[in-house]
Amino acid sequence: MRGHAMRAPTLTALVLAGPRSGGDPLANAFDVPHKALLPVAGRPMGEWVVEALRASSGVDRVLMAADWRSLGDVALMTPEKVVPVAAQATIGATIEAVLDAVPPPLLITTVDNPLLTPSIVAEFLAKVPAEVDGAVAVARREVVRQAYPQAKRAYMRFRRARVTGCNLFLLANTPARAAVRVWTRMDAARTDPAAMIGALGIGSRLWWSLGLLTVDGAARRLSRRIGARLAVVEMSAPEAALDVDWPEDLTLAESILSGRSAPA
């Protein structure tokens, strides 16, 4: 997790907004055709994400991968704001299809990340070591709980740290493409920490089960496994870890967003 300041490239940003099997419970609960359209503090959730990326230094264009038939003709998806791309059957297949047409660097986030800000993007990119091919953002449990003890998050236990993902990834160079297939397997096992670690290899799972695997050690093991240099970036902003999957997540996000817009 150490390292400093990758070069400042011109980035393409990709927002993952593809459907999950069985539909999205929040979209269903609010009777909207797509999670991107879920009202959050008076705006569609996807609009918060797109605007944060468009305001981020170095982001040249924003792509959104979705089932566009369910989104329809809505203002936040106008061509001057976002380039539409088709979501594939899995996250990995979607990213692979984008990389077939768009060379790295590719910054990736998700449509249920409405608390994303240009400063969060800037912190992530500034902390990515210049020599790596790819990076993933995480936040420590104590960082999130100190600011938002009510936040419902799943944490992965590592030696000396418990962390949660921030739905923020960078594929800086072509070799990082090899990590996409592992990402697909880990996402499929996202409710089972042992299975997620198992996607890194049997040795990693053994070390993790013994409580010996560090976050950086997991990154090094995966790097050797796929032949790409990967890094894990710890975020200082707790909001980076707060996506919106459940009604209580929505309540918290709306509270934070309302506080941002309140007069001083």
Task: Transcribe 114-182 into DSSP letters.
Answer: TT--HHHHHHHHHHSBTT-SEEEEEEEHHHHHHH-TT-----EEETTEEEEEEEEEEE-SGGGGGHHHH
pLDDT of residue 6: 47
User: What architecture does CATH give domain 11-257?
Assistant: Alpha-Beta Complex (3.90)
For the chain (264 residues), the mean pLDDT of every run of 10, in chain order, is 53 88 76 88 93 93 87 58 89 93 95 97 96 95 96 87 92 91 68 65 64 78 88 96 94 93 50
What are the tens digits of pLDDT across the range 162-197?
999 999 999 999 999 988 877 776 666 566 666 666
Contacts of 26 (CB under 8 A, 6+ apart): 35, 38, 244, 245, 246, 247, 250
| Token digits of residue 147 | 């600011």
Contacts of 46 (CB under 8 A, 6+ apart): 15, 17, 35, 36, 37, 64, 76, 77, 111
What are the tens digits of pLDDT across the range 203-238?
666 656 656 578 888 888 888 888 999 999 999 999
- Angle of helix 91-101 relative to helix 179-188, nearest 10 degrees, comes to 160
| Token digits of residue 103 | 């060379």
Average pLDDT, the chain: 85
Within 10 A of 199 (CB to CB), how many other CB atoms are there? 19
For the chain, the domains span: 11-257
Query: How far is residue 153's CA from residue 30's CA, in Å, rounded to a whole number?
Result: 22
